[in-house]
Amino acid sequence: LTSRMRGFGATIFGEMSALAARTGAINLGQGFPDTDGPAEVLAAAHAAIDSGGNQYPPAIGLPRLRQAIVEHQRRFYDVRLDADSQVLVTVGATEAIASAILALCEPGDEVVTFEPYYDSYAACIALAGAVRRTSMLRFPDFAVDEESLRAAFSARTRLVLLNTPHNPTGKVFSPTELALIADLAREHDAIVVTDEVYEHLIFDSIQHVPMATLPGMFERTLTISSGGKTFSTTGWKVGWLTGPEALVRACLTVKQFLTYVGSGPFQPAIAVGLGLDDSYFRQVAQDLQRKRGLLTQGLVDAGLSVSSPAGTYFVIADAAALGATDAVEFCWRLPELYGVVGVPVSVFCDDKDAARTLVRFAFCKRDEVLTEAVRRLSSGG
């Protein structure tokens, strides 16, 4: 293994899902739903397979999906895109993130991001030989600390890697925070890569504001999303990025040599999903909001202090009340102690102390599963 990648072991998600499978504990670790997405979307994938859609799609993605992405960005955010030059379909958001970082960073360039960060950010920055500079979001409100954010920028800043709604904290960046990030990006002539995979998983009538819609930001922003969360199809790995032509073309150059293309039949199916009525998108958020209530209330009743996620399907709890002194060690014992699996937040942090006893739980599960998890956490297993 190269020195760049040394220190990156197995991903925590794989490890924790394996732990859940081994112990039979309820898996609130890795974020994936335990029910299927809309029937029309599933049927469209079957139909594509049955009607000969089984060979390589174009590298930039099937026209039908690119058009659906364009229409989605116009419908929800009034962003106007050209389907042939400003959209790139990728193998999940994961490949979009990797392509963007590898396409835009020279070795030694700096990437500003927030802690805790989604695990692939650190790995892709390392793969590019770039340098990670972070600003900490602190439990329980995870507000942006302006001073530390400013300090993370330098003359070497090339990218800002933003994620809103934010995994693992559930934070939705406020318009004021987004404006500060945009100002700093402009000041340092940096490009913003914004991971918005949870764009529709947002609660309490809060609006998702894409960075690309801020004044003057479209031309320096690459926006990333994915069908996995919105349509409960995390295993399909259909993602995309959109932005100005030159940036998208740079990502295509990298993407074509990473995977060339992703699975063909899932692309028209996600196009069907993106075209569903507004009511579908509202329902997804409403259902998850109820589940957030179930899990957070249960955690509070079990004596834990919890964050109040405005988006995503994750909540962070301080497991100190359950006797945790180190969440990594605690999460390995959670199945035997409580019959539940969670993810220690410190694995997403450089500053381990800032998240020492914090555990992330996923609530994208059937209500009865959440109720049982909460019962176990309250009653000691």
Q: Which residues bind ligand PMP (CB under 6 A)?
A: 92-94, 118, 163, 167, 195, 197, 226, 228, 234, 237, 239
Compare residues 27 and 167 and give the one whose CB is closer to ligand PMP. Answer: 167
Compare residues 239 and 243 and give the one whose CB is closer to ligand PMP. Answer: 239
CB of 159 to ligand GLN, least distance (A): 20
Q: Give the number of residues in contact with ligand GLN, rule: CB under 6 A.
A: 5
Compare residues 11 and 148 and give the one whose CB is closer to ligand GLN. Answer: 11
Ramachandran angles phi, psi of 173, nearest 5°: -60, 135
CA distances from 220 to 122, 210, 244, 246 (A): 21, 13, 8, 10
Which of positions 197-216 make contact with ligand GLN (CB under 6 A)? none
Q: Which two tokens stand for residue 33?
A: 């739903």
CB of 366 to ligand GLN, least distance (A): 17
Q: H/E/C letters for each residue in 216-263?
A: CCHHHEEEEEEHHHHCCCCCCCEEEEECCHHHHHHHHHHHHHHCCCCC
CB of 74 to ligand GLN, least distance (A): 27
Residues paired with residue 338 on neighbouring β-strands, in sequence order? none
Residue 228 interacts with, from ligand PMP, ligand GLN, none (CB under 5-8 Å by kind):
ligand PMP
Residue 243 interacts with, from ligand PMP, ligand GLN, none (CB under 5-8 Å by kind):
none
CA angle (36 as vertex; 87, 95 as ends), nearest 5: 30
Which residues have a Cβ under 8 Å from the Cβ of 193 and sit 6 or more positions away? 97, 100, 101, 104, 159, 160, 161, 162, 221, 222, 224
Is residue 309 part of the contact set for ligand GLN (CB under 6 A)? no
In sequence order, what DSSP letters do the residues of 85-114 get, joined into one string?
A: TSEEEEEHHHHHHHHHHHHH--TT-EEEEE
CB of 231 to ligand PMP, least distance (A): 11
Residues paired with residue 135 on neighbouring β-strands, in sequence order? 114
Compare residues 338 and 348 and give the one whose CB is closer to ligand PMP. Answer: 348
Compare residues 117 and 338 and give the one whose CB is closer to ligand PMP. Answer: 117
Residue 92 interacts with, from ligand PMP, ligand GLN, none (CB under 5-8 Å by kind):
ligand PMP
CB of 337 to ligand PMP, least distance (A): 26
Is residue 167 part of the contact set for ligand GLN (CB under 6 A)? yes
Q: Which two tokens stand for residue 301?
A: 């009743």
Q: Left (φ > 0), alpha (ψ -120 to 50) or beta: where does 260 sit? A: left
Distance of alpha carbon 294 from alpha carbon 209, whole angstroms: 27
Q: How many other CB atoms sit within 10 Å of the CB of residue 109?
A: 18
Helices 92-104 and 119-127: crossing angle, nearest 10°? 30
Residue 163 interacts with, from ligand PMP, ligand GLN, none (CB under 5-8 Å by kind):
ligand PMP
Residue nearest to ligand PMP (CB): 92
Q: Which two tokens stand for residue 6?
A: 């040394």
Task: Out of 13, 77, 280, 332, name the contact with ligand GLN by CB under 6 A.
Answer: 13
Q: H/E/C letters for each residue in 147-188?
A: HHHHHHCCCCEEEEEEECCCCCCCCCCCHHHHHHHHHHHHHC
Compare residues 79 and 193 and give the one whose CB is closer to ligand GLN. Answer: 193
Residue 30 interacts with, from ligand PMP, ligand GLN, none (CB under 5-8 Å by kind):
ligand GLN
Distance of alpha carbon 221 from alpha carbon 191, whole angstroms: 6
Compare residues 31 and 61 and give the one whose CB is closer to ligand GLN. Answer: 31
Compare residues 88 and 324 and give the one whose CB is closer to ligand PMP. Answer: 88
Is residue 8 part of the contact set for ligand GLN (CB under 6 A)? no
CB of 268 to ligand PMP, least distance (A): 17
Which positions lie near ligand GLN, rule CB under 6 A? 11, 13, 30-31, 167
